[in-house]
Structure 1
């Protein structure tokens, strides 16, 4: 699991978010978030991870 995928998992666990909730926060489809969670075929883009962190007030 790469660093961004791991961070996505951490944020989702800490804030008790599911894929639908993350998708709504980022304006993406829940299927996209599901793919990001497994890291295949793509990982969460750095700018999307930063946006999620900003919206959650995460450090």
Structure 2
């Protein structure tokens, strides 16, 4: 009840549609491949000498 009041007070809508007793939540059931998620991966290395945008390349010509 307290959590529900906090969510409602923050304007967050929350509704549980189905919950099986003794079964872990969906995130706990997803199998991973032990690699970093895309959002946590580092961007590709860039060469600071070579421009990466076409606009910069056109200006240098």
Q: TM-score range by the shorter chain?
A: under 0.3
Which structure has the highest helix share of the two?
1
Higher relative contact order (CA 8 A, sep 6+): 1
